[in-house]
Amino acid sequence: MSKRRNLPVLNTENAPTQPARQTGEFHPGLQLTADHDLCPGCGEPIALRILLECIESLGLAERSIGVIGIGCYTALTSMIDVDLIQALHGRAPSVATGAKRMRPENLLFTLQGDGDMVNEGLQEVLHTAARGENVTCILLNNGVFGETGGHMTATTVLGQRTKNTIDGRDADYHGHPILIADLIAQLGGTGYAARGSVHDAPSIQRTRNLVLRAFENQMRGDGFSFVEILTMCPTGWFIPTPEGPDYLNEVLAPVHKLGELKSGGVHAPTESES
Amino acid sequence: MSRDLMEGSEAIARAAIDADCRFFSGYPMTPFTELLENFAKSLPARGGVCINAESEIEAIGMAWGAAATGARAATGSTGQGLALMQESLSEISRAEVPLVIFNMARGQGDYYQATRGGGHGDYRLLVLAPTDVEEAVYLTQLAFHLADHWRHPVLVYGDYLLAHTRQAVEITPTDFGERPDKSWAVDGSLGGTGRSRNVNSIGMQKGTKGIDPEAFWDRLQKKTERIEAAEVRFEEENCEDAEIVIVAFGTLARFARYVVRELRAEGVRVGLFRPISLWPFPSEALDRATSNARRVAVLEQNAGQMIDDVRLSILGRVPIVSIGGISTDAAGFGIGPLLDAEVIRARVENVFQEGAS
């Protein structure tokens, strides 16, 4: 906060020549710039940094292919220094499947939002998991369509206010949220499934470990791997930016519970089988 | 040199694999099913991958991903399944990913779907329509070459008869010269170099925020114009002195050819013009081929779709009549009463009589 107080007072007579948002010099090795175009308080750039640092730390920088869905995070693709395929909304898992089958030696990951994966493309991710496809699907879940301005998705929790659930999501009228990581953990082809978050430093550190384990699972050829990351979206939640982390922790995380849901590879028993 | 008797489905799959198709995905639907069966049987044995996708939407997604790595890839369905794939086809054409798509259609009612883009936005697929199994073998191999050459999806338009007719064919790989460079394809190798790739359909560039839509669309439109100029394919027979020129494609053109030869032997001045590339449509060639004709008779197995392209080629210079129509069987596979040389001959003779009165 002290940095903020030292900012020069804006001269209102002239148009500003610098962007209003402050960005540092630091960025991960696989990220081309430190700047991004997403809203202040967004959790997605944090998740991206985790992802890119995990790829680098596993020494997979020159073997990785990402398949990107359509959402706010799509604007990040121009700064990701990894080979990418841009998929249609919902379709990243099947595109990743085709690429992985042709290049089994590569790390194949997808990056999708909750609207992309759980609304539009639910069938894709479930079948890719059931096939035991050796790819890693990463879900950035903020419980809203952020890019359209905060509308209900399939993961919006009960009571959550969105632009098309003005009085809060009502189970009788809008139905129930899908707990996608829990669903995927039940499928026979899944080798690893976990849910993390980026709302504070410890959760970021834990999520980094989840992503590492998912990637390691893939490189062992041990079935489908999945990491859901809860991310802040103060813009789509209609709350002040600093309240994003607490809102995530108090509203989303009690429903989409954090932790590992399946580990040990595709041959480890799922809950329903054990 | 040996010729083997085989079904169109088997011949196409073998031709594709000979053309180094490494990936195929599909969802069963008659009359496409046997093509999928043949790929499932033959492709893994030759080191490739064939996946039974959960839906046509996923089938084309998988083929898209495989093709984006630079491997030759294909998918397909019937027109109904192709309808589900249109969103992807549109984006794949803009992402400039080479892909081959087979429509083993139920008749010729998918002409519009094949030639008008079919999905959202501004694009056309390259469309090749073989008339028999032998030509299907050649055009299948050509399709993979053109897809790579133009970095553009190529659709092969077949039907029930093409898929299921047994014909003696010889399958030898056609040499189309050196394979085009595929350094655009993703293999992961450029990660961390600052030059990594992004195979996308909106003109996104690495390291640059936003896009330049004008430059992106201008480049794609110019490529479309180059394809239109370079890839026109057709066949004409007895058109020079013909009073009546029949225009027909695919399986129906094979029936028309029989009728034309029969009538010619009897001294009737009738010709056949057969578009092989449905897009780009051979407009100038058709205009020339009909320069001495009194009537142009369009024979297609639908309510009148290709006739639009015939009209746009001839621009009112010669009267154009339709002698085709919707014609199918109870199962809807497109094996209708129109697929009969006698029926077609009667319709052609009728055009001669109308023209005389």
Q: Which percentage of chain A shows pLDDT scores above 70? A: 90
Whole-number Å distance between alpha carbons of A99 and A127: 16
Please give the residue range of the domain that contains residue A65: 29-146+179-262
Of B22, B69, B208, the CB nearest to A99: B69
Distances (CA, A) of B302 to A16, B276, B283, B320, B337: 63, 18, 20, 16, 13
* b/e per residue A64-75 (b: at least 16 CB within 10 A): bbbbbbbbbbbb
Please indicate, yes or no, if residue A160 is contained in any of the structural domains: no
Residues of chain B contacting A55 with CB distance shorter than 8 Å: 191
Q: Could you report the per-residue pLDDT of A92-151, keeping only the tens digit for each?
A: 999 999 999 999 999 999 999 999 999 999 999 999 999 999 999 999 999 999 999 999
Domains, chain B: 4-169 (3.40.50.970), 234-356 (3.40.50.920)
- Secondary structure E strands in A51-197: 64-68, 83-86, 107-113, 136-141, 144-145, 151-152, 190-197
Q: Could you report the per-residue pLDDT of B228-285, keeping only the tens digit for each?
A: 999 999 999 999 999 999 999 999 999 999 999 999 999 999 999 999 999 999 999 9
Please indicate, yes or no, if residue A3 is contained in any of the structural domains: no
Among A81, A126, A91, residue whose Cα is nearest residue A226: A126
Of A75, A98, A123, the CB nearest to B73: A98
| Per-residue pLDDT at B80 | 97
Asked if the Cβ–Cβ distance from A82 to B193 is below 8 Å, we say: no
A122: closest chain B residue by CA: B58
- In angstroms, the separation between the Cα of residue B73 and the nearest Cα of chain A is 9
- In angstroms, the separation between the Cα of residue B69 and the nearest Cα of chain A is 6
How many Cβ atoms from other residues are within 10 Å of residue B121's Cβ?
Answer: 11
Asked if the Cβ–Cβ distance from A85 to B189 is below 8 Å, we say: no
Whole-number Å distance between alpha carbons of A223 and A184: 12
Please indicate, yes or no, if residue A98 is contained in any of the structural domains: yes
Tokens encoding B173: 């790989």
Q: Could you report the per-residue pLDDT of A56-103, keeping only the tens digit for each?
A: 999 999 999 999 999 999 999 999 999 999 999 999 999 999 999 999
The kind and range of the H/E element at B350 are helix B341-356
Among B86, B79, B1, B10, residue whose Cα is nearest residue B43: B10
Contact B244/B143 with Cβ under 8 angstroms?
Answer: no
Asked if the Cβ–Cβ distance from B66 to A98 is below 8 Å, we say: yes
Q: Could you report the per-residue pLDDT of B61-104, keeping only the tens digit for each?
A: 999 999 999 999 999 999 999 999 999 999 999 999 999 999 99
Residues of chain A contacting B194 with CB distance shorter than 8 Å: 32, 81
Of A77, A94, A98, the CB nearest to B198: A77
Phi first, then psi, for residue A191 (nearest 5°) are: -100, -25
| Per-residue pLDDT at A16 | 61
Confidence at B209, pLDDT banded by 50, 70, 90: confident
Asked if the Cβ–Cβ distance from A30 to B194 is below 8 Å, we say: no
Residue B88 near chain A (CB below 8 Å): yes
| Per-residue pLDDT at A3 | 47
Asked if the Cβ–Cβ distance from A78 to B204 is below 8 Å, we say: yes
Distances (CA, A) of A33 to A20, A24, A103: 17, 10, 28
Instruction: Report the alpha-carbon angle B166-B169-B171, nearest 5.
Output: 130
Whole-number Å distance between alpha carbons of B336 and B314: 29
3-state class (DSSP) for residue B83: helix
| Per-residue pLDDT at B214 | 92
- pTM (two decimals): 0.94
Please indicate, yes or no, if residue A241 is contained in any of the structural domains: yes
Contact B4/B170 with Cβ under 8 angstroms?
Answer: yes
pLDDT (average), residues A227-247: 96
Among A126, A163, A129, residue whose Cα is nearest residue A144: A163
Task: Report whether pLDDT(A192) > 50.
Answer: yes
For chain A, give the mean pLDDT.
Answer: 92
For the ranges A38-42, B276-280, B306-310, which has the lowest average pLDDT? A38-42
Which residues, including other chains, have CB under 8 Å from residue A172's CB and lie 6 or more apart?
Answer: none
Structural domain count of chain A: 1
Among A135, A86, A145, residue whose Cα is nearest residue A113: A145
Asked if the Cβ–Cβ distance from A85 to B68 is below 8 Å, we say: yes
Please indicate, yes or no, if residue A53 is contained in any of the structural domains: yes
Confidence at B2, pLDDT banded by 50, 70, 90: confident
Task: Report whether pLDDT(A8) > 70.
Answer: no
Q: What is the ipTM of this complex?
A: 0.96
Task: Report whether pLDDT(A13) > 90.
Answer: no
CATH number of the domain to which A65 belongs: 3.40.50.970
